[in-house]
Structure formats: structure tokens, C-alpha cells
Structure 1
Amino acid sequence: MGTAAALEKLVPVLLAFGGGVVLARRKIVPAEASKAFADYAFLFAVPCYLFGNIYASDLGTLFNWRAIGAYAAAAGVAVLAIVFASGAHGVREPRDVALRVMAGVQVNTAYFAVPVFITLFGTAAPIFPVLLFQVCVLSLVVISIMELGRAGPAAGGPGQRLLRAVGASLSTPLVLACNAGILLNLLSVHVPKVVLDGAGFVGDSASPIALFALGLHLGGLGLDIRGTGREELALIAFKCLGFPLLAWAVCGLLFGVRGEWLTYLVLIAAMPAPQNLFVFAQRYDVGVDLSASLVIKSSVVSLLLLPVWLQTVAA
């Protein structure tokens, strides 16, 4: 796949994001409104999207357990690497570390990987097992840390605060939607078509609304390419180069994953930082400017490197 083909598929992404930038810079829509749009995406639209798509999927054909286990192992090593590097550079506040882990390990699925995979393979089905792993494991850990960090010091002991944080993370619409989709799918529970149609209608707005929110924020803030700091460069390099190489080594060399699944996993790892990074940062008021910058800059770098990764892994 060439860069032109990828850009053609990403025109809707660029349009939604660019609209937010233009409206914010012209002060037609205030940049502060990005918080409301981000909350809508996080609390409502994305859960609807996940529930409908997971419920309608054939889960049995989506899960290659060796491949998914290998990817989870690679992600675990990547998490440890980022935690160690963050501590070595003086970043020790749990919410700040969790945000950096999310930036370096989680990937942009719905807004970037889906159109790329459809272009390359004619289907985005291989993405869904990784999406479930991200939401039900990685995001659960990140949300727990964020909720725990938001609790005040007078809110009880560490044990009580941790239990409340885990409970709050498990009850978020994002996690509930995934678990409900999996459970109803496995139990073959009939969900009325009108409910699925409604979830699909709302879910289709998740991507443009979240991207529009990001555009509004950056339109008001501005994006300084020359002022990219060392930490940003390190996180972008790890996300777009380090993590894909790690996935290739762990999945291919240690777990013996071969063929199409190795290609799928390396390409998924090479996707940019997730759109939800900005949504989480907005919601928990931590690293908002850093997250917005990482999402956009890693998207550009990832787009340029995709043809290289495809040729390297397929060779």
C-alpha cells in the first residue's frame, strides 16, 4: 500500500479533525467546547460503537489465541519498558505514568487502523481481538489508576480508594459496553434490531465527534512542530518504531506466530497513539496538551512508515 492509498481512506479523518481546527481558529466554536464533545464520545458514542460491533461479530473466528497471547506478552514488555523509562526520567505520579503507557502501548483502532486494514486486507476483523484486549485489560488498568489518582486524600485508606477506583472503572460505559457485547454474543441472547440500529446510529458519530474535539483543542492551542520536546520524540519513536519491532520479535521469534497473523499484529502495533488518549486526558485533566500532540504527530509518522512495515513483515 502506498501513502496515497492510505490518505484516500483517511480523508474523513482529516475532514473531521480539520473542521475542528478551522472553527476553533476562526473562533466560531470555542476551543473550550472540546471537553463536552470529548465527554460525549467517551461516555456515549464509543460505547455504542463497541457494543454493536462486538455483539454482531463471530467471536469464534476472530480469536487466534497464540497470536493474541503473543501480542499481550509484547504489550506487557512494552508497559514495563515505559514505566521504567518514565521513572528514570523523573515521571513518577501514577496518572502521568499511566498516560504515557497508554500513549506508547495502546493503538488507534477505530479512527486509523480500521480504514487501513480495510484498504490492505478488505476486512478489519483482525483488529477486534486487540481492541477487546485494549478495552478490557489495558484501558481497565489505566482507568483504575486515573480514578484512584482523582480520589482525594481524605477519601479513606489506600485499599478502600483502590476498590472504589476499580469499581468505578468497571462501571464506566466503555467497559460495560464491551462486557455486555461479549456476554450477549456468547450466550446468543437476541437483541432487538431496533436497539442495534440505534447503537449503530450513535456509534457512527464516535469517530468524527472525537476527532472534531481534538481539532477544536488543537485549533485553540496550536501545534508547534519545531517545539517538540525530547519526551514527545521518545514516545513517538517508541510507538511507531519500538513497539512494532518488539511485537515482531516477541510474536514471531518467541511465540512462533507466522503468516498473516504476524503481519496483522506488527501493523496493529505500528498504528499511532489512540484517539482515546486525548479523551482520557480531557476527562481526568492530566497531560491534555501532551496527549493531543502525541495523537496527531504519531499519526503522521505512522502513516509514513506503514508502507515500510508492510514490506518488511511480508518479506
Structure 2
Amino acid sequence: MQGVLSGFAVIAVVIAVGYAIGRGGHLGDQGREVLTRLAFHVASPALLFTTLARADLSVIFSSRLLVTALSTAAAAGVFVAVGVVRRWGVGRTTIGALCSSYVNSGNLGIPIAVYVLGDASLVAPVLLFQLVGVTPVALTILDLASGGGKRPLWQRLLTPLRNPVAVGSLAGVAASASGVHVPGPLMDPLTLIGNMSVPAVLLAFGISLRGGTLPLRGAERTPVLLAVFLKSFVQPAVAWVLAAGAFGLRGAALLDVVVTSSLPAAQNLFTYASSYRVGEVLAREAILLSTVVSVPVLVVVAALLG
């Protein structure tokens, strides 16, 4: 209980500060866009590189991660199927699929892993899977949907290398896999820059709430409800069934998988939506509502499996 509330309290305070900044107009009319661009093009790539360059990539290969990957695919797949039938468009459907399955494993997952699971490293497999597998693929799709399909084939194949977030992730993986030691004079500035990523994302998200309509009042009501339902209930349920039934996980291992799958949609998804100017309202409302709903969900999961 303490871990759940502590993790959410940190996020809520920073978002509230962003909302206050937006109401006061302290960063001007372009404040949110500047923070979003800073996070997407500079801070997030630096954070991903420094995180993955120091990571033990062997944690990727585990039954727990396989459960996470399958539950992620299930939740995202349902949204994609509905999006295709309803003709929501490639970009909008991609953002919705991310909001349905991409968990907040960083700034919320780490404190909850510490207080609820007792070990911050338990969230590492999910973090690596999302950074290395999900993020480059999703951003490549967004790149192509935003006009990349008009480029020659060789340029489309190199799309991941044009995206700063994907480049940061892949470079970090390459450094870790090769065993290259990044010298302090290079790693320290990158770490300092990377530390701006989470605050910038949360502040930009808070600013975006100023002047916005209440959730579920606009045209995005249906995709938002679908994304929140998939993220908050379907993904954890699928993870629970797979972990206990198919992989025989019990005790702490089962708790770890279900708790990480119950985390809400990550705030950096709003940064992606804003950067590509697609599904921004969908991302903002889905992140906000899934964060609120995940509090009782995580409390129940911790009570039942803890």
C-alpha cells in the first residue's frame, strides 16, 4: 500500500506543478511544446542510452518477460483490431495500442517495485523489453504513418535510425552487448541531461491539462475507454492467467508479473503523440484515467498476491 501511494504521490506533485505553470503562463504559449521537444529529441535519448548501456541484457530472457510480452501483445492487439474495424487511422490506432499496453515502468514502476516487491531490479525486464522492442517498432510505424511511406524503400528501412528515442535505445543496447565502457567525461553529461527527461515529460503533461475538457467528454471517448479498460483490467488479467496457468509462477514471481502489468500507461506516450501530432487527446486522457484506476487495481493485486 505504501509503495503504491508513494509512487503515485511523486508523479501527482510534479504534474500539479506543471498544471500551475500552465495556468500562470510562466513558460509562455510554447512552454509545453518546448518541454516535449526537449524530452523527445534530447533528454529521453540520453536517459535511454545511459540506462541501457549499464543494463544486464541477460534479464530479458526469462519466463516473466515472456508473460509480459504476451500480455502486452494481447492488449495492444485487441485495440488494433478494433481500430482497424472502426477505421481510426494508423497513427491514432498506434497511440491507442501503446496506451493499452505500455506500462509506466520507469518513474512509477521503480518506486512501486521497491516498496511493493522489495527489489527495484524486478522492473528491469519490462523496462528493457519496452525500450528495446516496443518503442522502436511503434515509433517507426508513427514515422511511416506521418509520411514516411512516400520515401524510397531504403529510407523506410532506415526509419528507426532517424528517430532519436530509438537511436538512444539501440545505442545503449549496443554498448551493453559489446561490453564497451563509456568513459565518465561522456557518461556523466549524458546522465545529467537524461535526468531532465522524466520531469520534462510530467511537467509537459501537467501543462496540457490546463484549459482541456474533462475526460470522456469529446470525440475520443470510445478509444479512451477501450484503452483504459485494456490497460487497467485486461492486461493484468491476461498476465495473471498466463503466469499462473501456463508458466506455473507462484508467490513473489507471480506478484512481480501481475504488479508490473497493472501499472498505468506511461506519461512518455503523450510525448510521442505530441511529437507526431496524432492522438494527443487520446493519449492524455488514457494516461490520466489509467493512472487513477490503477491505484485501486494495484492495491487489490498486492492484497491478493502479497
For residues 267 and 40 of structure 2, the distance between their equivalents in structure 1, rounded to whole angstroms, comes to: 10
* Secondary structure, counterpart of 2:51 in structure 1: helix
Q: Which runs of 5+ in 1 are unaligned?
A: none
Q: TM-score, normalised by structure 2?
A: 0.90
For residues 106 and 9 of structure 1, the distance between their equivalents in structure 2, rounded to whole angstroms, comes to: 17
For residues 265 and 29 of structure 2, the distance between their equivalents in structure 1, rounded to whole angstroms, comes to: 22
Corresponding position of 1:212: 203
Report the more deviating stretch, 290-299 or 251-260: 251-260
Give the counterpart letter for 1:47 in structure 2: P
Q: TM-score, normalised by structure 1?
A: 0.88
For residues 41 and 256 of structure 2, the distance between their equivalents in structure 1, rounded to whole angstroms, comes to: 29
Corresponding position of 2:104: 108
For residues 214 and 166 of structure 1, the distance between their equivalents in structure 2, rounded to whole angstroms, comes to: 32
Corresponding position of 2:170: 179
For residues 263 and 312 of structure 1, the distance between their equivalents in structure 2, rounded to whole angstroms, comes to: 9
* Secondary structure, counterpart of 1:110 in structure 2: coil
For residues 74 and 10 of structure 1, the distance between their equivalents in structure 2, rounded to whole angstroms, comes to: 23
Does the aligned pair in 1 maintain the 2:267–2:287 contact within 8 Å? yes
In structure 2, the CA distance between the partners of 1:63 and 1:231, relative to structure 1 (3 Å rule), is closer
Does the aligned pair in 1 maintain the 2:6–2:111 contact within 8 Å? no
How far did residue 224 of structure 1 move?
0.7
For residues 183 and 27 of structure 1, the distance between their equivalents in structure 2, rounded to whole angstroms, comes to: 42
> Are 2:143 and 1:147 aligned?
yes
> Are 2:72 and 1:75 aligned?
yes
How far did residue 47 of structure 1 move?
1.8
> Are 2:95 and 1:99 aligned?
yes
For residues 165 and 283 of structure 1, the distance between their equivalents in structure 2, rounded to whole angstroms, comes to: 19
Corresponding position of 1:303: 295
* Secondary structure, counterpart of 1:126 in structure 2: helix
Corresponding position of 2:183: 192
Q: How much is the aligned-residue C-alpha RMSD, in angstroms?
A: 2.2
- 2:117 alignment partner, one of 108, 116, 121: 121
Corresponding position of 2:243: 251
Residue-pair matches, total = 304
* Secondary structure, counterpart of 1:57 in structure 2: coil
How far did residue 26 of structure 1 move?
2.4
| CA-to-aligned-CA distance 1:229-253 (integer Å, 9 cap, x gap) | 3432222121111110011112321
| CA-to-aligned-CA distance 1:105-126 (integer Å, 9 cap, x gap) | 1111222111211222343212
Corresponding position of 2:284: 292
For residues 44 and 183 of structure 1, the distance between their equivalents in structure 2, rounded to whole angstroms, comes to: 19
For residues 269 and 21 of structure 1, the distance between their equivalents in structure 2, rounded to whole angstroms, comes to: 28
In structure 2, the CA distance between the partners of 1:48 and 1:23, relative to structure 1 (3 Å rule), is same
In structure 2, the CA distance between the partners of 1:152 and 1:200, relative to structure 1 (3 Å rule), is closer
In structure 2, the CA distance between the partners of 1:165 and 1:211, relative to structure 1 (3 Å rule), is farther
Corresponding position of 1:22: 20
- 2:50 alignment partner, one of 30, 52, 55: 52
Give the counterpart letter for 1:40 in structure 2: L
In structure 2, the CA distance between the partners of 1:244 and 1:209, relative to structure 1 (3 Å rule), is same
> Are 2:218 and 1:222 aligned?
no
* Secondary structure, counterpart of 1:191 in structure 2: coil
Residue identity (%): 24
For residues 226 and 309 of structure 1, the distance between their equivalents in structure 2, rounded to whole angstroms, comes to: 26
| CA-to-aligned-CA distance 1:247-304 (integer Å, 9 cap, x gap) | 1112321233333232222111111111121011101110112211211221111123
In structure 2, the CA distance between the partners of 1:122 and 1:250, relative to structure 1 (3 Å rule), is closer
In structure 2, the CA distance between the partners of 1:251 and 1:277, relative to structure 1 (3 Å rule), is same
For residues 256 and 295 of structure 2, the distance between their equivalents in structure 1, rounded to whole angstroms, comes to: 16
* Secondary structure, counterpart of 1:109 in structure 2: coil
How far did residue 64 of structure 1 move?
4.7
In structure 2, the CA distance between the partners of 1:310 and 1:91, relative to structure 1 (3 Å rule), is farther
Give the counterpart letter for 1:303 in structure 2: V
In structure 2, the CA distance between the partners of 1:270 and 1:165, relative to structure 1 (3 Å rule), is farther
In structure 2, the CA distance between the partners of 1:120 and 1:75, relative to structure 1 (3 Å rule), is same
* Secondary structure, counterpart of 1:197 in structure 2: helix
For residues 157 and 99 of structure 2, the distance between their equivalents in structure 1, rounded to whole angstroms, comes to: 21
- 1:280 alignment partner, one of 272, 275, 279: 272
Give the counterpart letter for 1:115 in structure 2: P
For residues 215 and 97 of structure 2, the distance between their equivalents in structure 1, rounded to whole angstroms, comes to: 22
For residues 256 and 20 of structure 1, the distance between their equivalents in structure 2, rounded to whole angstroms, comes to: 44
How far did residue 18 of structure 1 move?
1.0
